[in-house]
Structure 1
Amino acid sequence: MGEIRHILSLSGGKDSAALAIYLRDRIPDMEYVFHDTGKELPETYEYLGRLEAILGKSIHKSTVENGDFIGFDQLLKVYGGMLPSNHRRWCTRMMKLKPFERFIGSDKCYNYVGLRADEDRTGYISHKPNIIPVYPFREDGLVKADIINILEESSLGMPPYTDWGRTRSGCFFCFYQQKIEWVRLKETHPNLFEEAKAYEKPGKNATTTFYWCGDESLEELEKPERIERIKNDYEISKARKKANSSNKSLMNILGGTDDYESNEGCLICQL
């Protein structure tokens, strides 16, 4: 076994991007890896391209096995058309964790994770004994305001998908999205919404249809009266949070980012 490797996984989210910039000059031999599912938002690819320029290093794309790209469409066939959900997160396991562990192999490495000092989240990154997690933001006491400051000072800024209300990185059809985010996806990227909707069909060995939003199909969700209700419910929820959250920052309240800061979701997809 050779020297210890230093590896930072990028999700396309603000925290891992800020961590990469934060550690750029501290750990010059850092390796950067992105687990490309082939179903990321176009803004994510653009953001990572800009980050590469700031880092001065290429970001390794890990979802390749024996020379073949193994992304969502290929794996969906293996799972008989069964869409992933919070109860069956094969997407995280097969498109994030396995490629990550394959990239590292048996090498001993430090895996740098962007969990902040102001959040109480835990999650499975890897249980392999040769992979040692490191949490620089927590160790140095950095909170959300510090992360935003790092991004702004570097000129990278926040991920561009936040401009239209998306609160998390990950596939454009991520099942952890809020209903309002599905509406915004339809309004901003109607072609991607249609692609997500096309996946909602009975699996090869299934008698029921798998939906991204639990028991509500995207065909139902996109009806004008349903969209109007989702928008109204979102505004009511936002107003309620604003009234009951005097200790929370204006950015969290108005930006609708409270769910992003919750314990739900996959760390390796979102940080």
Structure 2
Amino acid sequence: MTVETGIRRYRRGLQGNWSEEVLRPRIQMLKDGQELPFTVKVAKAQGLIQQAVQEHGVEHCYLGFSGGQDSAVIAHLTELAAPEMEFVFNDTGLEFLETYEYVSWWEKEFKRIITRTKPMKKLADILREDGYPLYSKRIAYMLSTEKRVANLKSQDPRPAGSYKLLASAKVLHTLDAGVKISDKCCHYLKHGPADKYAAEQGFTASILGMRADDSRDRRRNWLTMGCYYPVKKGADRVWPLAFWTEADVAKYHEVVGLPRAGLYDKGFTRNGCRLCGFGCHLASPNKFELLAIWYPKFWKAAMTKFGYFDACERLGIKDGRNIRGLDTV
């Protein structure tokens, strides 16, 4: 993406609050950062971890550990830069078996205990009361309340930008599908428990394995906030891998001999909650289809129990029943 294209796209995303003079150098800075040599990126990542430790004290910092490949890289860098830092794993209760195995492997390999948080709300209650995690976090947020949906359906001038985004993403049919969609899952299953635990322990900085190129939302977040920033509630966010690419992550695993969780060998590109549907409308095969292939018993039981088959059918999202001739369940 050129700098000019980025300016147009992200000024829209930021409701035009940033002038071109401000946004242009930010996009160029990100581009330059992503083109840095691999060894420089490693050094900068370790430097940012050490900076957070110096400014907050290691006893007030924690590393958010998910067991994913990005998380493994930042965890390994932290083991080298600040081995006494606490690691926190936000267990949704629906993680992949391979994720649990990887977390246990890490504890044994690096001789540490990884703290586990638990969800604030049961998944069944979240889906019933709030809605399903489908499409993207941004789209799900736009559709997360009856008022927003009503405004979008009436094309009220206030959400005109949101309506245009839904139209460009080809998901306007969700407004009349009769399926609740929401971004609340992440809050109740992961972010809420993490912030609660951080407050209880007096943590003021969280080290996270986030990359700016991982999604539009994370790119936008970096453009507006950078890689080390405060939030209204909770610990400061620190992104040592902000400039890293997926190729950099793969190279680090290879160079230091760091294994990945086994689910990546099965075609999954992300770990986390097995029933998270973000991105499933675009991916091929998507997570539901991969679940049908690799974990058929779990797939059938969970998709039935939590109503995903009905929701996906109403929305036109492939739910795995098309795999291997599984037309019905």
**Which one has more relative contact order, counting CA pairs under 8 Å at least 6 apart?**
1
Please report how far the alpha carbon of residue 30 of structure 1 lies from its aligned counterpart in structure 2 after TM superposition. Answer: 1.0
User: 1:113-145: per-residue Cα shift (whole Å, max 9, x none)?
Assistant: 21347667245998345511122234xx64434
In the superposition, the TM-score normalised over structure 2's length comes to 0.55
Please report how far the alpha carbon of residue 16 of structure 1 lies from its aligned counterpart in structure 2 after TM superposition. Answer: 1.0
Distance in 2, matches of 1:133 and 1:126, equals: 6
Distance in 1, matches of 2:237 and 2:268, equals: 28
Q: Is residue 76 from structure 1 mapped to residue 124 from structure 2 by the alignment?
A: yes
Report the identity percentage.
24
Q: Hey, what does 1:127 align to over in structure 2?
A: 231
Q: Is residue 111 from structure 1 mapped to residue 111 from structure 2 by the alignment?
A: no
Q: Hey, what does 2:304 align to over in structure 1?
A: 198
Number of equivalent positions? 212
The CA RMSD measured in Å over matched residues stands at 3.5
Contact 2:211/2:244 (CA < 8 Å) preserved in 1? yes
Unaligned runs of 5+ in 1: 65-69, 203-208, 227-271
Q: Is residue 136 from structure 1 mapped to residue 240 from structure 2 by the alignment?
A: yes
In the superposition, the TM-score normalised over structure 1's length comes to 0.65
Q: Hey, what does 2:66 align to over in structure 1?
A: 11
Q: Secondary structure of 1:137's partner?
A: coil
Q: Which amino acid aligns with 2:124?
A: L
Q: 1:108 to 1:166 in 2, by over 3 A?
A: closer
Q: 1:165 to 1:78 in 2, by over 3 A?
A: closer
Q: Secondary structure of 2:62's partner?
A: strand
Q: 1:165 to 1:126 in 2, by over 3 A?
A: farther
Q: Hey, what does 1:268 align to over in structure 2?
A: none
Which of residues 224, 234, 237 in structure 1 aligns to 2:325? 224
Which of residues 78, 86, 103 in structure 2 aligns to 1:31? 86
Q: Hey, what does 2:285 align to over in structure 1?
A: 180
User: 1:23-69: per-residue Cα shift (whole Å, max 9, x none)?
Assistant: 112113211111111111111111122222233211111116xxxxx
Contact 2:61/2:205 (CA < 8 Å) preserved in 1? yes
Q: Which amino acid aligns with 1:101?
A: D
Distance in 2, matches of 1:83 and 1:129, equals: 25
Q: Which amino acid aligns with 2:266?
A: W
Distance in 2, matches of 1:195 and 1:29, equals: 41
Q: Secondary structure of 1:105's partner?
A: helix
Q: Secondary structure of 2:73's partner?
A: helix
Distance in 2, matches of 1:101 and 1:172, equals: 22
Q: Which amino acid aligns with 1:184?
A: L
- Of the structure 1 ranges 11-20 and 101-110, higher mean CA displacement relative to structure 2 is found in 101-110
Q: Hey, what does 2:295 align to over in structure 1?
A: 189
Contact 2:205/2:238 (CA < 8 Å) preserved in 1? yes
Q: 1:11 to 1:214 in 2, by over 3 A?
A: farther
Q: Hey, what does 1:163 align to over in structure 2?
A: 265
Distance in 1, matches of 2:295 and 2:260, equals: 19
Q: Secondary structure of 1:111's partner?
A: strand
Please report how far the alpha carbon of residue 169 of structure 1 lies from its aligned counterpart in structure 2 after TM superposition. Answer: 1.2
Distance in 2, matches of 1:83 and 1:193, equals: 16
Q: 1:105 to 1:84 in 2, by over 3 A?
A: same
Q: Hey, what does 2:112 align to over in structure 1?
A: 57
- Structure of greater Rg: 2
Distance in 2, matches of 1:166 and 1:213, equals: 25
Contact 2:206/2:236 (CA < 8 Å) preserved in 1? yes
- Of the structure 1 ranges 163-172 and 78-87, higher mean CA displacement relative to structure 2 is found in 78-87
Please report how far the alpha carbon of residue 6 of structure 1 lies from its aligned counterpart in structure 2 after TM superposition. Answer: 1.3
Q: Secondary structure of 2:237's partner?
A: strand
Q: Which amino acid aligns with 1:104?
A: A
